[in-house]
Structure 1
Amino acid sequence: MEPAVHDPEDASQWSEGTGDEPLAELSAIVDLLRRRCAVDFSGYKTTTLSRRVRHRMIQGEAADGAAYLQRLGDDEAERHALCSDLLIHVTEFFRDPAVFARLADEVLPDLLRGRDPSDDLRIWSAGCASGEEAYTLAMLALDVAGRMGYPGNVKVFATDIAGDVLEQASLLRRYFVRDPLGGVRVDTTLRRHVVFARHNLLNDPPFTRIDLVVCRNLLIYLQPQAQIKALSQLHFALKPHGVLLLGASETVGALQAQAFAPMDCSHKLFRKQPVALARLIDVPSLGAQSVPLQPEMALPGVAGQPPEVLEAELLATRERLQEMVLELQASHERLDLGNEELTASNEELQSTNEELKSVNEDLYALNHELESKNAELAELNRDYDQLLDSTEIGIVFLDAALQLRRFSPAVSEFLALRSSDMGRPVREISYRLGQQDAFMAELQRCAGDKARIEREIRLPDGRWVYQRMLPFKDDSSLDGGVVLTWTDISEIKRMQSLAEQLAADRTRLLGILDVLPDGVYIVSQAFDIEYLNPALEREFGPIQGRKCYEYFHGRSSRCDWCKNQEV
Structure 2
Amino acid sequence: MAENPPADPENDPVTDPGIDDGFEALLTHLRETRGFDFTGYKRTSLRRRIQHRMDQVGIEGFAAYVDHLEVTPDEFAALFNTILINVTGFFRDPDTWSYLRTDVLPGLLEARPADTVIRVWCAGCASGEEAYTIAILLAELLGPEEFGRRVKIYATDVDEDALAYARAATYTERELQGVPADLRERWFEPVGSRHAFRKDLRRSVIFGRNDLVQDAPISRIDLLSCRNTLMYFTPQTQAGMMSRFRFALAPHGVLVLGRAEMLLSHGRLFEPIDLKSRVFRKNRSVAAGVTPMSPEFVADRRGAGTMDRLREHALAAGPVPQIVLTGDDVVALANQRAEELLGVGARDVGRPLRDLEVSYRPVELRSVVERVRMNRTAERITEVRLERAGETRWFAVDVAPLVAADGGRLGVSVAFHDVSAAHRLQGELERANAQLESLYEELQSTSEELETTNEELQSTVEELETTNEELQSTNEELETMNEELRSSNDELQSTNDEVRVRSGQLDGVNEFLESILSSLRSGVIVLDRQLQVTVWNAVAEEMWGLRREEVLGQHVFNLDMGLPTDGLRTAARKVLADRDHTDVLEVDAVNRRGRTVTVRIAVNPLLGTDGAVSGCVLLMD
The two structures have a TM-score, normalised by structure 2, of 0.42
The two structures have a TM-score, normalised by structure 1, of 0.46
Tell which structure's C-alpha radius of gyration is larger. 1
